[in-house]
Amino acid sequence: MKQSYGTLGVKLAVLAIWAALLFGPFLFQDVRSIQVAARICIFIVLVASYDLLIGYTGIVSFAHTMFFGFGAYGAAILLKQMGPGWTPVLLGAGAGAALSLVIAAGIGLLSLRVKAIFFAMITLAAASVALVLASQLSHLTGGEDGITYRAPDLFKPATKLLTDGDGKVLKLWGVSLNGKVAAYYFVFLSCAALFWLMLRLVGSPLGTVLKAIRENEARAEAIGYRVVAYRTFVFCISAVIASLAGTVYAVWLKYTGPETALSFDIMIDILLMVVIGGMGTMFGPVIGAVLLVLAQYYLRDLMGAASEAVSAIPLLPELLNPDRWLFWLGILFILLVYFFPKGIAGTAMLKGSRT
């Protein structure tokens, strides 16, 4: 029973997070909060798809942002060239996913036979090449400036989803049901569907095989499983899901550039989120994404308020200066790793099983 309590607590926390995101436009009505909620949705999917690799299969890859960028640039380029509409979004999503699938299959088949560190270096090199190409092919990708475009008309702020008899947009709990709400729910529903798909995947017999490969590759191969084929398959699935997340993010942001889609900073964020939340749980990415995104957006504000509150005390205002938010974020990360060595979700579930 104790084990179920630990797992149940994590599941309830994750369910509460998804419930808060479901009612995001009504709970958090300012523009910044909606941006944060949408970013959390995107990163939940992105980090969960990476957890399929590192948490369930033991594959360390640095190319995840490359696949994310393929999906984002696929939609961005076609929206720019064809104009706003669903056709360029669908074609861009398909093109980005297809390119991600082909490159992931090529990297997997050629490189997953080598040791983990060498595979990680190969993926890092591939991601670096993609970043350089996106920066240099300015006629196609906009170079360092990126691409600005318009999303489908449904997502325009002026779009009225529901109107009354006078033609005025209806409100629900004080929120106008316009294109901004439609854009948010496009992000939420897309991410929820992709996350559900990954939950089904890890709960299937395939998920058990992936865990067996992670725990003891030689034994899994001796039993009869083709380890390289399974690793390549999950690498391809992870790449396609990351690409689709990139497309959703591009439609929401209406801008795609190297810093928003291919930056190595995004890869670092993914790694931090999966470590904070817990690898190999699929619930950990939800918790990790929420905590890190909230820290990135609101830690400076909290430090500014704390600095003003202790202004009469020597030294403390300087230590709590908002410009030092990265320092305190690093301290928080160290404390989380120390007290939750398997991540928040992983440690909670493990402690529940031991008590």
Please compute the mean of the pLDDT values over residues 32-45 and round it to a whole number.
Answer: 93
CATH topology of domain 2-354: ABC transporter involved in vitamin B12 uptake, BtuC (1.10.3470)
Q: Which residues contact 50 (CB under 8 A, 6 or more apart)?
A: 61, 64, 238, 242, 270, 274, 285
Residue 204 pLDDT > 90, yes or no? no
Position 266 scores a pLDDT of: 92
Closest CA to 275 of 224, 219, 190, 337: 337
Instruction: pLDDT band for 1, please (50, 70, 90 cuts).
Output: very low
* Position 2 confidence tier, pLDDT thresholds 50, 70, 90: very low
The pTM of the full predicted model, rounded to 2 decimals, is 0.91
What pLDDT shows up at residue 166?
64
List pLDDT tens digits, range 132-163: 999 888 888 888 889 999 988 888 877 777 77
Distance CA 186, CA 179 (A): 10
Q: What is the pLDDT of residues 173-201, one digit of tens each?
A: 777 778 888 899 999 999 999 999 999 99
CA angle 42, 48, 52 (to 5 degrees): 145
User: Please, are residues 256 and 146 in contact by the beta-carbon 8 Å criterion?
Assistant: yes
Could you report how far apart the first and last alpha carbons of the chain are, in Å? 9
How does pLDDT run across 293-337, given as a tens digit for each residue?
Answer: 998 888 888 888 888 887 777 777 787 888 888 888 888 888 888
Nearest to 258 by CA among 171, 121, 135: 135
Helices (H), ranges, 83-152? 86-111, 116-136, 138-141
Percent helix / strand / coil, the chain, rounded to 5: 75, 5, 20
Q: Is the pLDDT of residue 352 over 70?
A: no
* Mean pLDDT confidence for 20-26: 89
Looking at the predicted structure, is the pLDDT value of residue 257 above 70? yes
Point out the least confidently predicted range of 57-66, 255-264, 291-300, 314-323. 314-323
User: What was the pLDDT predicted at 188?
Assistant: 95
Specify whether the CB–CB gap between 20 and 170 falls below 8 A.
Answer: no
> Tell me, what's the pLDDT at 24?
85
Q: Is residue 91 pLDDT above 60, yes or no?
A: yes
Residue 167's pLDDT band (boundaries 50, 70, 90)?
low
Q: How do residues 73-85 score in pLDDT, each as one tens digit?
A: 999 999 999 988 8
- Give the pLDDT score at 165: 64
* pLDDT mean across residues, the chain: 86
What is the per-residue pLDDT across 212-255, written as a single tens digit (0 to 9) for each? 877 777 788 788 788 888 888 899 999 999 999 999 999 999 99
Which pLDDT belongs to residue 210? Answer: 83
Mean pLDDT in residue range 348-353: 69
Question: Is residue 67 scored above 90 in pLDDT?
Answer: yes
Distance CA 289, CA 271 (A): 10
- In the chain, DSSP finds a helix count (H) and a strand count (E) of 17, 4
Please give the C-alpha separations between residue 90 and each of 28, 120, 296, in angstroms, as whole numbers. Answer: 30, 31, 31
The first and second tokens of residue 73, run together, are: 């640039």
Rounded distance, CA 186 to CA 269, Å? 24
